[in-house]
């Protein structure tokens, strides 16, 4: 009597494609469960390959999480870029600068609300904010922190900020908006409607601008 033997079919990938497939699987896990949900073995299962195949690209769990985190940071930057692209230089450079700073804040908050799992993953480990890793950037080649710096530079160039108030302004602006994002995701503002949160975000950016001066 012949026994039925079930042979599990494994996928084959071209060079580099498996790494992308594992990161994509990790992104979906991050989306649904945040950084703690990003599991290397589960990523290989979703990609349809053996666990050993992943070690060609990732030495372990931490390396996959780092790659997924970079992909999440890139998406944060892309969300900010989408808002900044709506700003057009006009006759008044101060109006343009204010719109740029607002775009950074709204893009940041908007991403946190749309993709809370990815947002948490993006800031789950503390690398240097000025890390030159291109994987953290979007189409403009700047990460989220650098896009904030760009907006603040426009504030300086337009005369809205002095050189003294411009110094380290990124940390003040970032911590303020990030604090609101955390209150929305994990705090007492969890049930607040998105429209109300974005309205708060706009007021917060105005408060940041005034506070920097």
Summarize pLDDT for 5-26 with one digit per residue, the tens: 433 445 555 545 899 999 999 9
Rounded mean pLDDT, 55-81? 95
84/27 Cα distance (integer angstroms): 25
Instruction: Report residue 166: phi and psi, to 5°.
Output: -70, -25
Q: Helix, strand, coil shares of the chain as percentages rounded to 5?
A: 65, 0, 35
| Closest to 25 in 3D by CA, of 41, 9, 10, 14 | 41
Element (H, E) at 103: helix 93-114
Cα–chain center distance at 158 = 28
Closest CA to 116 of 33, 202, 38: 33
Tell me the whole-structure pTM to 2 decimals. 0.89
Read off the pLDDT of residues 85-133 as tens digits, 9 standing for 90 and up.
Answer: 999 898 999 999 999 999 999 999 999 999 999 999 999 877 776 677 8
What residue ranges do the domains of the chain occupy? 75-212
User: Could you give the CA distance from residue 199 to residue 192 in angstroms, rounded to a whole number?
Assistant: 11
């Amino acid at each position: 009597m012949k026994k039925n033997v079930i042979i599990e079919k494994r996928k084959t990938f071209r060079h580099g494609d498996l790494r992308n497939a594992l990161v994509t699987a990790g992104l979906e896990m991050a989306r649904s469960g945040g950084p703690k949900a990003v599991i290397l073995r589960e990523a290989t299962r979703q990609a349809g390959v053996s666990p050993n195949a992943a070690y060609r690209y990732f030495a372990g769990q931490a390396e996959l999480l780092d790659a997924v985190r970079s992909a999440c940071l890139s998406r944060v930057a892309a969300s900010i870029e989408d808002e900044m692209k709506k700003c057009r230089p006009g006759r008044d450079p101060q109006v343009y600068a204010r719109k740029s700073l607002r775009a950074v804040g709204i893009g940041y908050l908007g991403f946190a609300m749309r993709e809370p799992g990815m947002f948490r993953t993006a800031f789950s480990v503390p690398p240097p904010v000025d890390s030159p890793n291109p994987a953290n950037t979007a189409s403009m080649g700047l990460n989220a922190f650098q896009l904030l710096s760009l907006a603040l530079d426009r504030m300086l160039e337009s005369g809205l900020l002095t050189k003294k108030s411009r110094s380290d302004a990124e940390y003040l602006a970032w911590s303020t908006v990030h604090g609101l994002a955390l209150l929305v995701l994990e705090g007492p503002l969890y049930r607040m409607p998105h429209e109300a949160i974005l309205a708060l975000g706009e007021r917060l950016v105005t408060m940041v601008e005034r506070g920097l001066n």
